[in-house]
Amino acid sequence: MEFQEFTKNSLRAWAFRTGSNGRNVMQTVNGLPAHVLLVHAVVVLLPLSAALLALTALWPAARRRLAGPNLILSLLVVVLVPITTSAGEWLEHRLTPNPLIHKHTELGDTAIYAAIGVAVLALIVWWRQRESTGRTPLRRTFLVPGSSALTAVVTVGAVLVAGAAVYDVVRIGDSGAKASWSDWASQP
């Protein structure tokens, strides 16, 4: 009976409601706005997956060990970003209209592009690693690792996308901090 009560109370702690787009949107977790909690996961995991992307693109030893786990991590981030931004938009509509919050919400909508870019390049890096070890079906080599030109393009692309993703997270986070703390900081 204790487990059933725990499960029931835990599910009640996660409040889901249908958003304006018809999807279920997580609104609160234990009474706190879900965005405030979820954003921390995105702020840590998106730059981490971007850093791992650059590392795996540049360093073959890291690629062998980390390309697969980074692909999984980057796909998790692609799922997590829309949940976080939906929760943020829900929160925005419950706050007093504020241009700083609106700017943060608009910038937050760009995080999905950074997450998708990192995930696509992580997939390419992982697939090239698989091809180099001969683990692909029928020994296909679509992204043949032996091509130095393609290796250079993938490496430069991965580093640029990783840098852009980190910059995007910093820009979004800075606007969120300004929106949250600008009134407090102006107090004597």
Average pLDDT over residues 165-172: 98
Question: Distance between CA atoms of 102 and 122, rounded to whole angstroms?
Answer: 31
Question: Distance between CA atoms of 161 and 17, rounded to whole angstroms?
Answer: 34
Report pLDDT for 45. 98
Average pLDDT over residues 131-160: 76
Q: Is the dihedral of CA 110, 111, 116, 118 positive or negative?
A: positive
Question: Distance between CA atoms of 125 and 53, rounded to whole angstroms?
Answer: 8
**pTM for the structure as a whole:** 0.81
Please write the tens of the pLDDT for every residue from 81-140. Answer: 999 999 999 888 888 888 999 999 999 999 999 999 999 999 999 988 887 776 656 555
Rg (CA), the chain: 20
Q: Is 144 within 8 Å of 188 (Cβ atoms)?
A: no
Query: Smallest Cα–Cα separation from 76: which of 109, 34, 44, 108?
Result: 44
Does residue 127 sit in helix, strand or coil?
Answer: helix
In sequence order, the 6+-apart residues with CB closer than 8 A to the CB of 141 are 131
Q: Is 127 within 8 Å of 90 (Cβ atoms)?
A: no
**Statement: residue 185 has pLDDT above 60:** no
Token pair of 130 as six digits: 């698989």
Report pLDDT for 14. 45
Question: Distance between CA atoms of 176 and 25, rounded to whole angstroms?
Answer: 20
Query: Smallest Cα–Cα separation from 161: which of 130, 132, 125?
Result: 125
Per-residue pLDDT band at 28 (split at 50, 70, 90): confident
Report pLDDT for 135. 63
32 versus 174: the higher-pLDDT residue is 174
Structure-derived torsion over alpha carbons of residues 150, 153, 154, 157, reported in degrees to the nearest 10 = -170
Alpha carbon 164 to its chain centroid, in Å, reads 13
